[in-house]
Structure 1
Amino acid sequence: MMTTSPEPQVRFVSVFAAGPQGGNPAPIVVDGAGMSDAEMQQVARAYGHESGFVLPSPPGSDCDFEFRFWVPNHEMSMCGHATVGATWLLQRLGRLQRDRIAILTKSGRVHARIGQSDEQDISVEVSQPTGIVEPLPDTPRSVDDILDVLGIGSDCLAPFPIQNARTSRIKTLIPLKSVSILDGLKPDFSRMERLCNRIDSTGLYPYAVSDRNDQIIDARQFPSASGYPEDAATGIAASALSFGLLANRMVDASERQITIRQGRAMNRPSAIKVRFSFNDGDLNGCWLGGAVQPTECEKIAS
C-alpha cells in the first residue's frame, strides 16, 4: 500500500512591511527536511510567492541551517526577504539558541543576527557580500532596449549610468529623474525575460532618489522570469542597489542606514534597510533587514 508524504506546514510572514498590507508575503516551511524539489516548487506555485524552506545543515557545512528558495517557475540561489522571514519565524518559534546563526544557501553562506526585546519585537539582519557593479553589456543597444521595454525616453533618466550590480543575483539598476516617473512606469512584461537574458540580468530595478540627505531611495523590481510581473520588496536587489549608489557616490561609505522603499505601486508599501559592514575599516559587505509581521496567504492554485 502506497503512502503519501504529509502536507508540509506552511507559515506566512510579510517582510519589509512599511504600513498596512505592506511588505512582501513569504510562505515559509520551517521543517522542510525530506521535501522533494517538486514539493517545494508546488508550494511556491500554490501561493504565487517566493517561498523559503528550512532544512538541517549538511554534515561538514559548519552552518546552523540550510535554506532553499523557490518561485513558481524555478529555484533561486538566494532570497533576502525569505531569509529574513524564515529567521524571524525560527526565533519566534523558539528554535534558535543564540543571536547569530550561519545559513547555507545555494549562493553561499550568509549570516543572520537577531535582536529581541520582547516576544513580538524581533529584529533580523542578514549579511550580503560586497557588491559588484559593472557596465551593461553592449551598452548603447541595451540602454535603448531597456527604455523601450519600460516605455520611457532617455529624458526620464537621471545623470548616472545604467548598471548591472549584484551581491547574490544580478539586477539592472536604472536611475530615473523622479519618483513620479518611477511610479508611472508601465513595462512591456511580454519582453522582460528576453531582455534580461540578453543583458545577463535577473530583473530590472529602476530607482529614483527621494531624499539624498537621509539616504532614502524609491525603487521597483521587475523580475525576468519568476512567474509574476512585479515584486513588492526585494532584499537582494536593494543590496545590489546600495553598492550601485556607493559606486556613483550617491550614498556615504559608512554604517548610516540606507532606506529603499518599494511596493507602493502595488499597494504593498515596503521599506528595506541596508547598512554597509566593515572589518577593520575595510568595506566587506552589508546587512539588510526590515520589519516582519505574521500574515495570511490564500492559495491561487491547487
Structure 2
Amino acid sequence: MPPAAPFARRFAQLDVFAGRPQRGNPLAVVLDAEGLTEEEMQRVAAWTNLSETTFLLPPTSAEADYRVRIFTPSGELPFAGHPTLGSARAWLEAGGVPARERIVQECAAGLITVRRDADRLAFAAPPLLRSGPLDDADVDQLVSALGVPRSSVLGHTWADNGPGWRVLELESAEQILSLSPDLAGMRDAKLGVMGRFGPADAAARPVGGADGPLYEVRAFTLGGVEDPVTGSLNAGIAQWLAGREPMPARWTAAQGTVLDREGRIDVQVEDDGTVWIGGATVLTVEGSILV
C-alpha cells in the first residue's frame, strides 16, 4: 500500500527570549500534529534543522490544556525551556484558551505550568532530575575544552531537568564572552557556563547598564553547537543559585551575545522556592506545512 498523501497542517515559527524577530532562539511548531507518527515528527524536525521543533497534540491528562512533543534534529527531549514558551505562544495565537487561570502543558517530563505576565510568558521550572557537584574528572575535561584554568571555576553542578545540563560558573561575564572552546573536547557533555557582571561592569553589559543582566550565560550542546538562548539551562542555574546563596527575588540573564542575539531570560524565585523562567516571544512565521 502506498504511503498516505501529505496534507496541510497549521505551522508557526517563533523567536523566543527576545523582543524582536531574529534576535532570540527560533522554534518551529506544528499545531495540528494529531495522527503523525514519531518517525514523521522526527523527519520534520530534521528538515527544519532548528534546535527544537514541537508538535501539539490533544492532552492525555485532564489537567492539561494541550500536549507537546519536543524534537531536536536527532531525537526527542522530555522537556526544554524555549520550546515550552514558544509552544504556549503559538497555541494562544492559534486560538487556544486555557481552562484555568494558567496554561498547563503536558510533556514527557510531566505537567508544566505557564503563566502570562502582560505580553510575556513564564514557565515554572520542573524539579531537577540530577543535581549536586560534578566529578573532578568531568570538571578537568570541561575546563580543558574551554581553555581556562581550573582556578577560574567558582562553582560547578549538575542542573539536569531533562536535557542533561552540566554547569560551570567562571570568574566573570567578560570571561564567558571571551571563550573560544574546543567543542569536540566536550565529548558527550551538554555544558552551560555562566559568569556574573560585577558592580564595575555596568558599561560592559549588553544593554541596561546597572539595571541590565546579572549574568552572561552560554550553552554548548552535542555536535559542537552553541545554543542561542536556553530556557532549561537557565532554569537549572536559577534553582542551583537559589539553593546556594541569597539571591534577589528577580533577575535577568543574558545569552546569545556572541551569536549576535539579544536573549534575555527573566528569573523570579518565589518564597516557596518555585522558580519561574520567562521572556518575550515573537511570532515570525505562520502558515501551513505539508506532512
Normalising by structure 2, report the TM-score: 0.84
- 1:242, 1:258 within 8 Å by CA — same for their partners in 2? no
| In 1: Cα distance, 2:87 partner to 2:58 partner | 13
| In 2: Cα distance, 1:219 partner to 1:47 partner | 25
Counterparts of 1:10-29 in structure 2, within 5 Å, are 10-17=11-18, 21-29=22-30
State which of 225, 243, 250 in structure 2 corresponds to 1:257: 250
Root mean square deviation, CA, Å: 2.4
Equivalent residue number for residue 35 of structure 1: 36
For 2:36, the aligned partner's letter is M
| In 1: Cα distance, 2:78 partner to 2:98 partner | 26
| In 2: Cα distance, 1:211 partner to 1:23 partner | 25
| In 2: Cα distance, 1:183 partner to 1:127 partner | 28
Equivalent residue number for residue 225 of structure 2: 229
Structure 1 residue 13: deviation in Å? 0.2
| In 2: Cα distance, 1:97 partner to 1:105 partner | 16
Counterparts of 1:65-80 in structure 2, within 5 Å, are 65-80=66-81
Instruction: Name the SS of the counterpart of 1:163 in structure 2.
Output: strand
Equivalent residue number for residue 294 of structure 1: 283
Deviation string 1:222-257 (CA, Å, 9 cap, x unpaired) is 01x3x56011111010010012222331624xxx22
Give the direction of change, closer, same or farther, for the CA distance of 1:168–1:286 in structure 2 (3 Å limit): farther
Gaps of 5+ in 2: 200-209, 287-291
| In 2: Cα distance, 1:164 partner to 1:22 partner | 28
| In 1: Cα distance, 2:155 partner to 2:73 partner | 32
Q: Give aligned-pair identity as a percent.
A: 26
Normalising by structure 1, report the TM-score: 0.81
For 1:152, the aligned partner's letter is V
Equivalent residue number for residue 54 of structure 1: 56
For 2:26, the aligned partner's letter is P
- 1:130, 1:286 within 8 Å by CA — same for their partners in 2? no
| In 1: Cα distance, 2:19 partner to 2:179 partner | 21
Gaps of 5+ in 1: 117-121, 197-202, 298-302
Equivalent residue number for residue 147 of structure 1: 143
- 2:184, 2:224 within 8 Å by CA — same for their partners in 1? no
| In 1: Cα distance, 2:21 partner to 2:79 partner | 26
| In 2: Cα distance, 1:107 partner to 1:261 partner | 26
The size of the alignment, in residue pairs, is 271
Larger deviation, residues 36-45 vs 241-250: 241-250
Instruction: Name the SS of the counterpart of 2:132 in structure 1.
Output: strand
